[in-house]
Structure 1
Amino acid sequence: MTGMTEISSAAELRELIGEPSAHAAHKTRDRLHELDRQWLARSPFCLMATSDAQGRCDVSPKGDPAGFTHVLDDTTLVIPDRPGNKRLDGMLNILSNPHIGLNYLLPGRGDTLRINGRARLLRDAPFFDALVVKGNRPRLALLVEVEEVFYHCSKAFLRSDLWKPETWEPDALPARARIVKGLEAKDVPLETLEEHYGPQYAERLYG
């Protein structure tokens, strides 16, 4: 492609953007504060970033009832795994590269809680009994050793109007069943997919 000017060094990047404020540069912590614990107790959703040994990245959404992340102590978290598509992209990444990034959201809030650390996969532990939701005891959980904690400000959410219902247009794009029909399951009748992703889909989340 022509007409592009690429940045190829940290010095060039800093020359263009500048230095962070002292507040931004030094806001990271290496353990949870009581305010972080309160945030985790109220958050029903996070984005989990991992990468494999070659640096190829993956970001997966994780959601459960608020407080789904179990805090063992100020430097250790546990995230239960729930039934899914069994691709295990993030889990497989962790086996070759334990570094993990988590960004916790609170519906309606623009700021987010970011936690970076190292993760391990557990198939059982005494605290698994505390992770049961609707009868589902996880077969797998992530143990995260916290290395960095800090909050992101609200700018991205304010710019995007993410939490303003008047900007939402869920029907502007094809429904999930039609997307699956077009891309993933072309041989499956649309009616079958619509039934699968219909009202009963939510009843099978922990099955």
Structure 2
Amino acid sequence: MADYEEIGSAAELRELLGDPLPRVIDKDRPRLHARDREWLAQSPFCLIATSAADGTCDVSPKGDPPGFVHVLDDGTIAVPDRPGNRRADGFLNILTNPHVGLIHIIPGRTETLRINGRARLVREAPFFDAMTVKGHRPRLALVVDIEQIFFHCAKAFMRSALWKPETWEPDALPSHARLVKEVQRIDQSLEELEHYYGAAYAKKLYAG
């Protein structure tokens, strides 16, 4: 650590990075534009960042058929919850700190739509019926009151070549079952885990 040269102030950071262009400063909006609605209607995946009152952070992926993020009005969206591992780290954070950040992704597109706002956990509302997928009506939804929304530039996706299949190497690492067996304290055998995360796993996407 003695060899690290840390940044300790906003002034030092600006000296290193410079100031953003005016169009970058002015691009955020407080309400949905028609193009934002179109983006949400085409997006099947988003990331939700939260932080508890004590600073504990979490980023949780959410995915469903395109348009799963429900637009309630120009200032409010709702994200349905689906069956998962029940850790609920992000939801627990929201109970002590409602501030959230979301990144909405469309496969093949290098820019993203970002939304920042304040979130509430809702266990029942009339719009839940509109978020039913394969007969599964959500038991919980995240309702976000939008404070800031903007399109984020494409450079990170371009640098990573994320959408170029020729760069993909999904088999460079062991199977998920093997990773779980190696990094977690778990009693199940590798064979049992391979079965659990195999073909039957997809059948449980909407099962509680």
Give the TM-score, by structure 2 length: 0.98
Q: Secondary structure at the match of 1:91?
A: helix
Q: Distance in 2 between matches of 1:185 and 1:38?
A: 44
TM superposition outliers: structure 1 runs of 4+ over 4 Å: none
Listed one character per residue, the Cα deviations across residues 24-69 of structure 1 (whole Å, up to 9, x for unaligned) are 0111100000000000000000010000001221101000110000
Q: Secondary structure at the match of 1:100?
A: strand
Q: Distance in 1 between matches of 2:186 and 2:59?
A: 26
Q: Distance in 2 between matches of 1:202 and 1:39?
A: 27
Task: Quote the offset at 1:2 in angstroms.
Answer: 2.5
Q: Distance in 2 between matches of 1:123 and 1:10?
A: 41
User: Residue type matched to 1:15 in 2?
Assistant: E
Tell me which residue corresponds to 1:90. 90
Alignment of 1:14-25 (within 5 A): 14-25=14-25
Gaps of 5+ in 2: none
Alignment of 1:105-124 (within 5 A): 105-124=105-124
Tell me which residue corresponds to 2:156. 156
Alignment of 1:1-207 (within 5 A): 1-207=1-207
Task: Quote the offset at 1:185 in angstroms.
Answer: 4.7
Q: Distance in 2 between matches of 1:186 and 1:126?
A: 41
Q: Distance in 2 between matches of 1:5 and 1:184?
A: 35
Gaps of 5+ in 1: none
Q: Distance in 2 between matches of 1:176 and 1:132?
A: 29
Q: Distance in 1 between matches of 2:64 and 2:5?
A: 43
Q: Distance in 1 between matches of 2:193 and 2:110?
A: 35
Cα RMSD (Å) of the superposition?
0.7
Task: Quote the offset at 1:184 in angstroms.
Answer: 2.3
Task: Quote the offset at 1:204 in angstroms.
Answer: 1.0
User: Residue type matched to 1:166 in 2?
Assistant: E
Q: Secondary structure at the match of 1:20?
A: coil
Give the TM-score, by structure 1 length: 0.98
Listed one character per residue, the Cα deviations across residues 60-111 of structure 1 (whole Å, up to 9, x for unaligned) are 1000110000001000001000000000000000000000000000000000
**More deviation, 53-62/97-106:** 53-62
Q: Distance in 2 between matches of 1:167 and 1:199?
A: 26
Q: Distance in 2 between matches of 1:203 and 1:187?
A: 23
